[in-house]
Amino acid sequence: MPTLTRAEAADRAAVVDVEDYHVDLDLTADGDTFRSRTVVRFRARPGAATFLEFEPVDVASMTLNGVPVAPGASTGVRLELTGLAEENELVVDALMRYSNDGEGLHRYTDPADGRTYLYQHLFINNAGRVLPSFDQPDLKASFRVSVTAPADWVVATNGILVSREGGRWEFAPTKRISTYLASLIAGPYHVVTSEHDGIPLALYARAALAQHLEAQAPEILQLTRQALDRFHEMFEIRYPFGHYQQAFAPEFNFGAMEYPGLVVFRDEMIPRSKVTDSERERRANIIAHEMAHMWFGDLVTMAWWDDLWLNESFAEYLGSRVTAEATRFSDAWTTFAMQRKAWGLRADQRPSTHPVAPSEVSDTDEALLNFDGISYAKGAAVLKQLVAWLGDEAFLTGLNAHFEAHAYGNATLADLLGALSKASGRDLSGWAEVWLRRAQVNTLRAEVTRDGANYAEVAVAQTAPEGYPTLRPHRIGVGLYDRVPGGGVVRRKRLEVELEASGRTVLTALTGEPAADLLLLDDGDLTYAKIRLDPESTAGVPQLLPLLDDSLARAVIWAAMLDAVVDGERPVAELVTLVLAALPMETEVAVVEDVLRATRGLVDRYATPETRPAALELVAQAADRLLAASMGGSSRQLAAVRGLIGATVDTARLHGWLAGDGVPDGLTVDADLRWLIIYRLSVLGAADSEIIEAEREQDRSASGEQWAARCRAARPDAAAKEAAWAAVIGDGSLSNRLAELTAAGFWQPEQLDLLEPYVERYFADMPEMMRVRSGMSAEHIAVVAYPTVAVSARTRELAADLLGTDGLNPILRRVVQDSDDDMRRALAARG
């Protein structure tokens, strides 16, 4: 894909102003191409030159203002135009290529029934793979789409359908939107329609998922209505894009994408097997997140990618907030504290860290790399603190003024800060400088001295990394928790305090206060920081944690304990002991799932090959105890079973479950749970290719195809490993999702001897993979294919050699830098 620099975008925006696109697609031909006829109307500085992104297979004709454009003007990635008039009309008729990497116009054939499905994903610089376009966020235009497709297909776009005759679909022009937001789906999709508050609603999914969509549509539509109502309560501008459609598409690169009028989700969010309540909460959160984008990103769009946070940080914050306030998932902030904020903290401490709002993003390659835990989760946590500081009324007043001033246009950080400052009466420039313009994270550590049974002094010490010495103001809660007779724990006192941007703040309100059994910093999870408890509180965590009633407080503690292990401040063996002691009593499913996932990952990398089996056995015991304590058929039972499957080496028990023997009461071993068991058996060498293929024959679905690919790659067999590696590195015909899952199954800590040659091959072969694939799919594969479990100095040496290579792909450079830093931590922890 072409790279657009910020300088080029600024120069082009100074020359042209786009009015509209009329895109006419013919999707009826067999093969890997489709026809795209596009009319672009734009104003320009007379006599100037410009270019459009354009990646055709073949061009039938091109005219500018009725005059043929020379064929040489199309370079294969751009269309160069000269001699522009004040009013211009470009007409291009071209043949374009379908993709299998989730970008451009993605084409997918469902293995369940052989039917073909399409979806359009033009993000971040892929519009030229479908039409000639001025592909940058500040050149907004109206899109009018016409489509010729097989008569039995369903077609939907951002715009409202105005006519359909046979296989010809005509859609109304959209409001002004950025090119990366132009959306389309086409194929024999199953449709569910509804309406709410005057807004037409629709859901789309593959025909093979029709029964699951019908069963889950009431919940999805209820969440949609609840979120719409809450946003209408907060925002003075109603939902601005006519209808609200949500499509669930196969092999989508993102979890979802905020196309106005037609949001697209990965269709794994229409599960065919039983899921936990936390997974349902995640879907609710994503629905609310994408809806928030209708205002933050779609109605008002960033001018350039350095203000990505104006899209993603706000959608992340509002997704959790609206989920907690408007739906049955009232503990959504617990999930945020446990999962999302941890993602931000990890990203913020890697070599690739960057500010939430960087002052410069030089090109679209760099912009793509900033779609990370910083732009999403850190930004959301920072906003949560800002709301606590400003007050909700001033915050919402500022947002509404911002929408009014920039509706259907573009805005910058300065624009938003100006609106919030005016609404609140506070100068936010200093806040923005330390929270948005500077990278990395602070650590807040409780320092306690006692005078007998009372506190002599309680202080909060704030530190910053040596290379990023910024200290920040923080608003935090401090909770005092005590044991009570009968075995419970109560919060005796909670105060909110302002920490200045200094090294140490004494909490004078606690001087002379009776010492608590647990003193919890950031009670309520108000700030963005790493939290460390005082030694006495830390020592009491294994006994006190299971007795706390507040799930958010438990999440803050679990997150702090996990983070201390990640940083090498506490051994992974201590974490495993805590998991065995406290997790079996945990009732919040999101906490259960995240603790098991994070602990398993740390055991695989931080424990040595000699100590790992014993540590993994303790994790399996914890999951088994949780299973025994869970109600049959509950989400907690399912989370425990999944954790147990991932940690156990008891292959006889797993085979028994597949055969229906010894299955826990209330548990259904459905299609995806069967595959999870077979995956673990494959890793352990207890499921051969015949077992995998037999299961695949029983499950001819898209999910079955993906699970089978992952299981094949996971087997401890030299031929299976070679086949998987070849597919990941050089098979361009393999779709994005199948390549990612093959890579995800490849590295297993149980197979280090077999995998040793592939450590060097990663660094030798991955540049070739980056030439075969591109964009987000290439990034995903580079991440999951990294030899994270081959923890050794030699792996770091190979990484350093690759990083020293001139002209290394920037996406691969960042993946290797960050993965190598994770390995540095693992080696230090083992030492």
Domains in the chain: boundaries? 722-831
Backbone angles phi, psi at 576, to 5 degrees: -60, -40
CB 389 within 8 A of CB 396: no
Residues in the chain: 831
Cβ atoms within 10 Å of 117's Cβ, excluding its own: 26
pLDDT (tens digit per residue) in 161-215 = 999 999 999 999 999 999 999 999 999 999 999 999 999 999 999 999 999 999 9
CB 243 within 8 A of CB 191: no
Quick one: CA torsion of 576, 578, 582, 588, rounded to 10 degrees? Answer: -70
Q: How far apart are CA 612 and CA 617, in angstroms?
A: 8
- Does 486 score more than 90 pLDDT? no
**What is the pLDDT, as a whole number, of residue 775?**
84
Confidence of residue 1 (pLDDT cuts 50, 70, 90): low
Q: How far apart are CA 420 and CA 403, in angstroms?
A: 12
Q: How far apart are CA 821 and CA 682, in angstroms?
A: 30
Q: What is the CA radius of gyration of the chain?
A: 27
The dihedral through the CA atoms of 206, 211, 212, 213 has a sign that is: positive
Q: What's the DSSP call for residue 336? A: I
**What is the pLDDT, as a whole number, of residue 831?**
85
How is 504-528 classified by DSSP, letter by letter?
EEE-GGGTTPBPPSEEEETTT--S-
Q: What is the mean predicted confidence (pLDDT) over 711-735?
A: 96
pLDDT (tens digit per residue) in 675-684 = 999 999 999 9
How many angstroms separate the first and last alpha carbons of the chain?
A: 43
111 by Cβ neighbours in 10 Å (0-12 / 13-18 / 19+) ranks as middle
Q: How far apart are CA 199 and CA 791, in angstroms?
A: 54
The dihedral through the CA atoms of 614, 615, 619, 621 has a sign that is: positive
Q: What is the mean predicted confidence (pLDDT) over 783-807?
A: 97
CB 637 within 8 A of CB 667: yes
Helices assigned H by DSSP within 252-378 = 277-292, 309-326, 332-335, 341-348, 364-369
What rounded mean pLDDT belongs to the chain?
96
Q: What is the mean predicted confidence (pLDDT) over 737-758?
A: 97
Q: How far apart are CA 145 and CA 265, in angstroms?
A: 21
Cβ atoms within 10 Å of 19's Cβ, excluding its own: 15
User: What is the value of pTM for the model shown?
Assistant: 0.96
Q: What is the mean predicted confidence (pLDDT) over 27-38?
A: 96
Q: C-alpha angle with apex 814: 707 to 798, nearest 5 degrees?
A: 85
Q: How far apart are CA 297 and CA 315, in angstroms?
A: 9
Q: How far apart are CA 265 and CA 183, in angstroms?
A: 12
Please say if 393 is a catalytic residue. no
Q: C-alpha angle with apex 499: 496 to 503, nearest 5 degrees?
A: 145
pLDDT (tens digit per residue) in 247-303 = 999 999 999 999 999 999 999 999 999 999 999 999 999 999 999 999 999 999 999
Confidence of residue 388 (pLDDT cuts 50, 70, 90): confident
Single-letter amino acid code for the residue at 546? P
CB 648 within 8 A of CB 680: yes
Q: Taking phi first (over 0 means left), then psi (-120 to 50 degrees means alpha), and beta for anything else, what does residue 31 get?
A: left
pLDDT (tens digit per residue) in 410-462 = 999 999 999 999 999 999 999 999 999 999 999 999 999 999 999 999 999 99
Q: What is the mean predicted confidence (pLDDT) over 584-611?
A: 96
Question: Of 167-176, 252-261, 337-346, 769-778, which range is least confident?
Answer: 769-778
Q: Are strands 474-484 and 488-499 parallel, antiparallel or unpaired?
A: antiparallel
Share of the chain above pLDDT 70, in %: 100
CB 657 within 8 A of CB 650: no
Q: What is the mean predicted confidence (pLDDT) over 232-257?
A: 97
Point out which residues pair with 610 in neighbouring strands. Answer: none
- Does 468 score more than 70 pLDDT? yes
- Does 2 score more than 80 pLDDT? no
Q: Which of 53, 279, 290, 312 is catalytic?
A: 290
Q: What is the mean predicted confidence (pLDDT) over 651-680?
A: 98
Q: How far apart are CA 589 and CA 593, in angstroms?
A: 6
**What is the pLDDT, as a whole number, of residue 307?**
95
Helices assigned H by DSSP within 135-274 = 210-234
